[in-house]
Amino acid sequence: MRWWTYLGAIIVGIYFLFPLYILVLLAFNSPKYTVLAKFPSLLPVSLTLNNLITALQGTAFIDPFIKSLETATLVGIITIALAIPAGYGLSRLPRAISYSIIILLLVTNMMPAIVIGIPIVVDFLKLHLFESVIGLALAQTLITLPLATFILQGTFSSIPIDLEHQARVDGANLFNRLFSVLLPLAAPGIAAAFLISWMFSWDEFTYAILLIPYHSTLPVTIYQDVTRGNLLAGIAFSLIFTIPVIILTFALQKYLRGEYLAGGIKG
């Protein structure tokens, strides 16, 4: 039966990697063999860097890329800064109360982004946060914060409370206990929460097009290029768009394990 497992894994792998393969093929093949061909080739025929060089010249790519990078990093920082005290506080509550609050937080993510986004746009226009990276980061944090809190609540719950009690006996105040004892032990969970928050912001589209419609992030720029017929630019942008995600995932993959993502299930 084991060969069935391997076969299934191979089929699933091909299913998920095939779109990425086509993206790479379109980015490096000559257009006459891909987007302009009546029957596009599924194999490399005439590899070229002209597609990427042409698309990346000027500010059409650099500005959205930098804006996406700034927004995602800011979302990660804000999310972690808020989720650490929230997760720690929930981990010290009785389990029934803690779970109830976590469920209420996660339920907020069930609302469609467009439903929440329109009132946010109205409020941010009044607060002069429209068309700003800070405004977009604050809006996206509404989505990332509940999940990050869920992860960190489980992370802090898994740390033996006796360690904190011992630090208290030794004279450490709450600030010292948090930064000297708890945060080093919670580093894997913090890294996992940061990575998930960063990747969500990097890929997020709805709030980006609502709050920064004119000078937006890379996902919106790719959408605009493709819908306007500039397919080669959209392909090149999409390929480079995936690189930071791949790098971060491989760099922090040891933290993306079940015990760090299980949240309040553990504890």
3-state SS, residue 21: helix
Backbone angles phi, psi at 47, to 5 degrees: -75, 140
Nearest to 183 by CA among 147, 64, 171, 174: 174
- The predicted pLDDT at position 266 comes to 44
More confident residue, 9 or 45: 9
- The predicted pLDDT at position 264 comes to 40
3-state SS, residue 46: coil
Q: What is the pLDDT of residues 46-104, one digit of tens each?
A: 777 877 777 777 667 788 889 999 999 999 999 999 999 999 889 888 888 988 898 88
Q: What is the pLDDT of residues 89-131, one digit of tens each?
A: 898 888 889 888 988 888 888 888 888 888 999 999 999 999 8
- The predicted pLDDT at position 265 comes to 40
134-148: average pLDDT: 94
Tell me: pLDDT of 195 over 60: yes
3-state SS, residue 222: helix
Which numeric CATH code is attached to 61-262? 1.10.3720.10
Instruction: Report the distance separating Cα 261 and Cα 155, nearest Å.
Output: 8
Averaged pLDDT score across all residues of the chain = 83
The domain limits of the chain are 1-47, 61-262
Instruction: Report the distance separating Cα 202 and Cα 242, nearest Å.
Output: 10
